[in-house]
Structure 1
Amino acid sequence: MTASRGHVLVIAEQLDPTADLVVQALNERHVPVLRFDLSEFPVAVTLAAEHRDVAHGWTGTLARREQTVRLEGVRAVYYRRPGLPAVSPDVAEVYREWAVSQALVGMVQILASLPAAWMHHPDVYRASAHKPGQLVTATTAGLQVPRSFIGNDLAAARRWGRTIGGPLASKPVAAASLQLPDSPPTMIPTRRIDVSDLDESFELTAHYLQEWVPKKYEVRLTVVGQQMFPVAIHAGSDAARDDWRSDYDALEYEQVPIPDDVAEGVRRFMAGYRLNYGAFDFAVLPDGRWVFYECNPAGQWQFIAAATGLPIAEAHASLLTGVIT
């Protein structure tokens, strides 16, 4: 076994190309990395932590296969949508849910107590990931947002929609996929609708409506620490113009400057949530104004880096190793 200081922990699904790029960038800097998924704990990952006093905090080891890391030597944690712990089949069914909760809290909270940089701590992710709160934070930060409605009151939604005086955008309020029979999980895209399209099914769950923004194009703004990578997304199909995630083959990318007031608003947004990474989506109006849609604190960026050559992985490596550029 080997042990060394200064490790970065990469906690992500094994088949995650975004995490792969970060690991590659760290390897190029000769930074030691331990990568694992929470789904490997406790079966294939071993934790041994001791607490003695305030001065030492939690000390001990984290081991996977032939690699062992000293907890007190961890410099940063890149925590990117890992799975849940998977306990041994030897655990009786009646105890399995309990055992998973013990493993999850035991591992994550030990790591959270270490004096290390995080991207992002699970508590920060949970606080920042939801669209209703984001709209308030964005407005407070000085960003322009669309007029919005969330609820299941059909009559109220129709009244609100008529005040908009034009088409509406219907989108999921939560980033959950839909699992249909005999089909892989699918994303529910943003749809352009009219008030007349709202019917009694609206009352069955919470719905998220916004005024339809007459955009010239959209921008995916990837923010890593203090670095901003704004890229225009030009849609070449009707589906992509409604939601560019619906037709990646119809997209073209272009690096664009970010207005100073938008950049300052994004910094205030990030500070409000204590984020050091965010994938922001904006619409750009024909007159050049930027309208905030949302921020995904664990959003994908590898497709932007591949299309533009922007050093987003390198920016992650800089932040995780404490090198500010």
Structure 2
Amino acid sequence: MTAAARPVLVVAEQLDASADMVVDQLNQRDVPVLRFDAAVFPQQLTLTVGHAPTEPGWKGILDDGRRTARLEDVRAVYWRRPGRPVIAAAVPEPYTTWAQNQADAALLNVFAALPGARWINNPHSDRVAAHKPQQLVAATRCGLRVPRSLITNDPDAARDFAKQINGPLICKSVLGGRLPVDEDRELMVATHYVDPAAFDDGIRATAHYFQEAIPKAYEVRLVAVADKVFGGTLHTTSEKARTDWRTDYEHIEYGTVDVPEDIATAVRGFLAYYGIVFGSFDFAVTPTGDWVFFENNPSGTWAWVENRTGLPIAAAHADYLRGTCE
């Protein structure tokens, strides 16, 4: 098979704007694509692969009923927040959960063993890179400024921390995601200001993640793809958006910013530390021009950044997956 004919696997939910944009860019480059959601395996997707002792990797076929791809020919995998495999309703518990875990492991681990394939991002590395407390350690090692932070379930420790900060304090979740309210609704747990005078034994109920509140001239969603970095700015025009811009999209003005070289270098070092090539980084830029790292989402959204600013983020994905950028 010629290099030009080698396919890219795009593993994403059916309704994913970022995946749509990357597929479009790959199509413009005449790169063949097999796109599917892991949720269609094993009911609508067939995997048949084998491995021989003398072979460098697994060989076989992935077939979605319309298109097929030979795994040994795959040049890259774009693993973009897919669903988990869905097992036929006729399979009862506990076998449903067992079968789902088997299907999940088969897809992921066979793909991860493809020799020479590029990834955005390999989920094995992605999961480790998503841990927020460890990110602060990695960011500091890479030369980024981070907020003073405390994780505790001790109200006395929280009060002592508040005295050390001697200024505004916020609380955020240690683990991202949403809180199920009922079968039909989920609640985003937003970053919020806290009053140390109200600290009580309720803090003992679980781990609380406190940080000093950083003064913001504006915020930056920095999207990194391999060596390329793109700075999308968010100028918030309400107090609610200033606290957590995800809670008030109507009061955000978008723009772009040139990422300072020291920040770009530190971000590339951060990616290398985790063995990933993509990340959606959240920064605040203070009124004095300092960049302060909050966190990185290694599978974070970015389509809205490109749509509002024109930054060529999808093209950078396609170039990396095709193999024309490092």
In the alignment, structure 1 segments of 5+ residues that lack a partner are: none
Alpha carbons 1:5, 1:74 under 8 Å: kept: no
In the alignment, what sits opposite 1:302?
Answer: 303
How far is the alpha carbon of 1:66 from its aligned partner? 1.7
Q: What CA RMSD, in Å, does the superposition of the two structures yield over aligned residues?
A: 1.4
In the alignment, what sits opposite 2:268?
Answer: 267
- DSSP-derived class of the 2:75 partner: strand
Alpha carbons 1:154, 1:202 under 8 Å: kept: yes
In the alignment, what sits opposite 2:284?
Answer: 283
In the alignment, what sits opposite 1:170?
Answer: 171
**In 2, Cα distance between the equivalents of 1:54 and 1:164?**
61
Residue 72 (structure 1) aligned with residue 64 (structure 2):
no
Amino acid at match of 1:76: A
How far is the alpha carbon of 1:268 from its aligned partner? 1.2
Cα distance per residue 1:38-90 (max 9 Å; x no partner): 11000000000010134342100000012110011101000011111111123
**Percent of residue pairs identical:** 48
How far is the alpha carbon of 1:186 from its aligned partner? 2.2
How far is the alpha carbon of 1:125 from its aligned partner? 0.6
**In 2, Cα distance between the equivalents of 1:33 and 1:244?**
35
**In 2, Cα distance between the equivalents of 1:130 and 1:62?**
32
In the alignment, what sits opposite 1:113?
Answer: 113
How far is the alpha carbon of 1:93 from its aligned partner? 2.1
TM-score using structure 1 length: 0.96
Alpha carbons 2:219, 2:235 under 8 Å: kept: yes
**In 1, Cα distance between the equivalents of 2:114 and 2:18?**
24
Alpha carbons 1:154, 1:198 under 8 Å: kept: yes
**In 2, Cα distance between the equivalents of 1:297 and 1:94?**
32
Alpha carbons 1:167, 1:192 under 8 Å: kept: yes
- DSSP-derived class of the 1:186 partner: strand
**In 2, Cα distance between the equivalents of 1:81 and 1:316?**
15
Alpha carbons 1:119, 1:277 under 8 Å: kept: yes
TM-score using structure 2 length: 0.96
Alpha carbons 1:61, 1:71 under 8 Å: kept: yes
More displaced stretch, 176-185 vs 221-230 = 176-185
Equivalences for 1:114-263 in 2 at 5 Å?
A: 114-115=114-115, 116-181=117-182, 184-263=185-264
**In 1, Cα distance between the equivalents of 2:92 and 2:220?**
50
**In 1, Cα distance between the equivalents of 2:133 and 2:93?**
37
How far is the alpha carbon of 1:5 from its aligned partner? 4.5
How far is the alpha carbon of 1:252 from its aligned partner? 0.8
Equivalences for 1:31-70 in 2 at 5 Å?
A: 31-70=31-70
Equivalences for 1:6-45 in 2 at 5 Å?
A: 6-45=6-45
Alpha carbons 1:152, 1:206 under 8 Å: kept: yes
More displaced stretch, 103-112 vs 88-97 = 88-97
Amino acid at match of 2:48: A
- DSSP-derived class of the 2:305 partner: helix
**In 2, Cα distance between the equivalents of 1:155 and 1:320?**
50
Alpha carbons 2:226, 2:268 under 8 Å: kept: no
How far is the alpha carbon of 1:154 from its aligned partner? 1.1
Alpha carbons 1:224, 1:278 under 8 Å: kept: yes
- Structure 1 residues 21 and 254, CA gap change in structure 2 (3 angstroms): same
- Structure 1 residues 197 and 182, CA gap change in structure 2 (3 angstroms): farther
How far is the alpha carbon of 1:216 from its aligned partner? 1.0
Cα distance per residue 1:82-139 (max 9 Å; x no partner): 1111111232323111111111111111111002001111111111001100000000
More displaced stretch, 149-158 vs 87-96 = 87-96
Alpha carbons 2:5, 2:31 under 8 Å: kept: no
How far is the alpha carbon of 1:169 from its aligned partner? 1.1
Aligned positions, number:
322
In the alignment, what sits opposite 2:85?
Answer: 85
